Amino acid sequence: MLNGVLSITQGLLAGVFTLAGGAKLLVPREVLQKRMHWAVRWPRCRIKLLGLAEVLGAVGLILPAATGIAPALTPIAALCLAVLMAGAVGTHRRLNERFLPAVIVGALCLLVAVGHSIPLG
């Protein structure tokens, strides 16, 4: 049962990070600035790098566990995404924006990291 919960959580997180990262990679900065106010202060290349990190993190959540090749990378990817979300919380707090979604996503990333680090049998 716990494996099923982890798999569902991984899938949801992978979808969230793929969409968010894909938008940062594909949508022009000027358009992103309308919804992501922090993008006003960030250079274009840094936004693209963040998007790439999110997309690669999403791949890291799914691919190693799904293929059985280097499954230890899944909790590492989840932990890296949790750190990324901690940065997002700080950025949103500094700009007096809502940061609870980033807290929730970060906590789910930690759940996946810990869940894959503990042998479940």
Token representation of residue 98: 């809502």
Nearest in space to 104 (alpha carbons), one of 116, 92, 95, 94:
92
| Contact between 74 and 61 (Cβ < 8 Å) | yes
Q: Structural domain tally of the chain?
A: 1
Token representation of residue 119: 């042998």
Provide the pLDDT for residue 117. 79
Q: Find where tokens 């968010």 sit.
A: 20
Q: What is the pLDDT along the chain (121 residues), one digit of tens a residue?
A: 668 889 999 999 999 999 999 999 999 999 998 888 888 889 999 999 999 999 999 999 999 988 999 999 999 999 999 999 999 999 999 999 999 999 999 999 999 999 987 765 5
What's the domain range around 94? 2-117
Task: Work out the angle between the directed axes of helices 2-26 and 73-94 (0-180°, nearest 10).
Answer: 60
